[in-house]
Structure formats: C-alpha cells, structure tokens
Amino acid sequence: MSRKLRVALLAAATALAFADSSIVVLGPLLARCGRARVSMPGGDDFGKRPIDMHLKGLEALGATFELRKGYIEARTEGLRGADITLDFPSVGATENIVMAAIVAKGTTVLDNAAREPEIADLCHFLNDMGADIEGVGSPTLTIHGVSSADLSAADHRVVADRVQAATYMAAVAACQGEIVVKGAQLEHMDMFIRRLREMGVQFTDQTDGILVYADGRRLRSLDVQTLPYPGFATDYKPLVVTLLTVADGVGIVTENLYP
C-alpha cells in the first residue's frame, strides 16, 4: 500500500469518526459560550443516530434548539440544574449533559446514565478541574454546578482504550501465542475477558497491563448478546464473530443495541 493511499485512508477514517462526534461538543459549548452551532451527526453508516436524548437533556437544563439545513443551532440564557432520566444509557448524551451541567446553577441529577469506564474517566477529569460530580461509575450522577471561574487546567492521563486492547487480545486468540497489553485494565473489560475465557483464552492481570495467551488448542464456540455496559459491547462483536469462524461448534451472536 502506497504512503499516499495510507494517508488518504487515515484521513477518511478520521473524518468519519469526527463527523459522528460533532454532537458531543454541544454541551460544553453551551456551558462556555451560551450558544453553539454544530452539524448533525454523520459517521459510519450502521443505522440511525438519534440525538433526541441529547437535546431533551440539554433542554431540561435551559437550552433551546433550532434545526437548520443540517445544523443544530442552540442557545441558552443560563443553564440551571434539573432532574433528568435517560430513556437509554447513552454514552454521548451522558457526556453532553454532564459537561453542560457542571456550570449550571443548582444541582443536576442524571439517572440511567451510561457507566462506561470512559464516562467515569471524564468525570474524574472534570472533578480534577474543579467540577463537583458525585456517584461516578454508577447509573446516577449528581452534579453540583460551579462557577466557570472555579474551573482550572489539570493534568490527566486518558484511560486505556478497551476496544483497541480487545483487538490485540482477539488477534492472539485467533493466531495463538501471547502478548502483554500494557495499560489495559481487567475490570474495564470484564465481560469481554469472561467470554474469551469460555472460548479457551487465558488472561493474567499484571501491574503494567494484561498478559493474554492461547496454548494452541482450538477455541470453543459460545453464544453472545450485546448489551449496554457492563454488558458485552457492540464494538467487541466483530472480534468475537471472527474468532467463532475458527472455533469448534456453532456460535450465535445477537445484536440488541443497533439495527
């Protein structure tokens, strides 16, 4: 593959990723500037990407929206705390609401919040900056609003990417051998590791990461269903489907989150 082609593919992948991420800047822009104009989500085409929970949550905090020619235009005269319950533990909606609520007047209680390690990592980072978020890691987040002047810069190390770590683990499972995935955290990947153990892959927690090894025996098939965290993530599904193609028996993978 030529260097030009590699660069073009990387640029395309990055554009797709950030096209879908545009909505996540809505909350912090409203909190910081009182207004925002962002494009509708795009990204890879694997189904509809409803943003109703994002908008309902931010509306509860005091924002108003207009949709114009593929753009979302948002304004607020001042965000205020509210009690919000998500219909589904959406990662993006949780991020948006939390980042807006940290400077809203009063207290926001967010129920059925997403519980992914990345959400907890974001909350810890915001708390380090001066935010006041309670219940981190639980489905109920209580956010006590602070003044923007109370927020300050902070140093933070981003939590390890679970899907990237899982990709290396699945490669070892398929090809045999062993690998140490540095920085990976066992407790963040519990369901994925539990299911791969059922297939015959072995894991050892280490101080610097996770040791993964396959001893040459053929993998065993199993049935898997995707669910919100801490269940089996949709992002792990292609990896397990690949492993099932070289495993003994019949495996069934059921997608419960996306069409």
Indicate the SS3 state at residue 121.
Answer: helix
Which position among 20, 44, 45, 52 bears the catalytic label? 44
Residues with Cβ within 8 Å of residue 11, at least 6 apart in sequence: none
**What's the CA dihedral at 53, 46, 25, 34 to 10 degrees?**
-40
- Residue 79 in contact with residue 105, Cβ under 8 Å? yes
Bridge-based pairing of strands 140-144 and 132-134 is antiparallel
What is d(CA 176, CA 219) in angstroms, rounded to the nearest whole number? 10
| Structure tokens given for 200 | 């015959």
Verify whether residue 52 is a known catalytic residue: no
Indicate the SS3 state at residue 44.
Answer: coil
List, by residue number, the catalytic residues. Answer: 44
